[in-house]
């Protein structure tokens, strides 16, 4: 082989090596990107199940399932309202985080593993509170003798409910702002039944 042929071969080899390096970097970038997306989804679910949100869920759960045992003193009412909004704002953060994840889905794809992971984790919570918020709001309004003004705070929850219903993960009978009554699939309407 002459000098020119060796030189041509070396040129081809370095091009191949450069392409391999780019491919390796791309795979590493993609897996790091996907890891960050999963971590984001995990953090959003963690927010819903720990800390002040977990404490708020106990109080909203009492309102929802009936053993709303507090005396309607102004202090108790204030705590219940704080819990109600703490939980609504948590769902607002989840909806914002999900929207951001959806925007980051690779071009041409309709969904990806990170979004599906988040949706699967939060679906039953969203179904529960679709009815839960409606019942809690009604009881809070009865005690305070005025409507709970939550339209802005509840809009994120409404969008999240719709997105999960479109994916078939939450029963379409649920409504964001109201309990549909007799047609509501929530367990609170079936307590005491065998």
Interface with Zn ion (CB under 5 A): 131, 179, 184, 186, 188
CB of 24 to Zn ion, least distance (A): 52
CB of 81 to Zn ion, least distance (A): 19
Q: What is the enclosing helix (H) or strand (E) of 190?
A: none
Cα(184)–Cα(173) distance, rounded to whole angstroms? 6
**41 or 60, CB closer to Zn ion?**
60
CB of 44 to Zn ion, least distance (A): 23
Other Cβ atoms closer than 10 A to 45:
17
Other Cβ atoms closer than 10 A to 86:
17
CB of 181 to Zn ion, least distance (A): 7
**115 or 184, CB closer to Zn ion?**
184
Q: Which of 101, 89, 98 is nearest to 123 (CA)?
A: 98
**11 or 183, CB closer to Zn ion?**
183
**63 or 122, CB closer to Zn ion?**
63
Other Cβ atoms closer than 10 A to 119:
20
């Amino acid at each position: 082989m002459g000098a020119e042929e060796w030189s041509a071969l070396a040129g081809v080899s370095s091009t191949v090596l450069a392409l391999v390096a780019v491919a390796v970097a791309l795979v590493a970038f993609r897996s790091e990107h996907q890891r960050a997306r999963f971590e984001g989804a995990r953090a959003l679910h963690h927010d819903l199940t720990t800390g002040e949100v977990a404490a708020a869920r106990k109080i909203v759960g009492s309102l929802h399932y009936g053993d709303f045992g507090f005396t309607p003193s102004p202090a108790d009412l204030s705590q219940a309202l704080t819990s109600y909004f703490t939980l609504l704002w948590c769902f607002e953060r989840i909806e914002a985080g999900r929207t951001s994840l959806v925007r980051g889905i690779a071009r041409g794809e309709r969904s990806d593993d990170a979004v599906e992971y988040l949706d699967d984790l939060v679906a039953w919570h969203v179904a529960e509170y679709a009815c839960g918020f409606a019942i809690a709001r009604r009881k809070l309004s009865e005690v305070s003798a005025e409507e709970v003004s939550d339209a802005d705070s509840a809009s994120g929850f409404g969008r999240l409910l719709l997105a999960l219903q479109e994916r078939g993960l939450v029963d379409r009978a649920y409504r964001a702002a109201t309990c549909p009554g007799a047609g509501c699939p929530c367990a609170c309407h079936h307590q005491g039944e065998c």
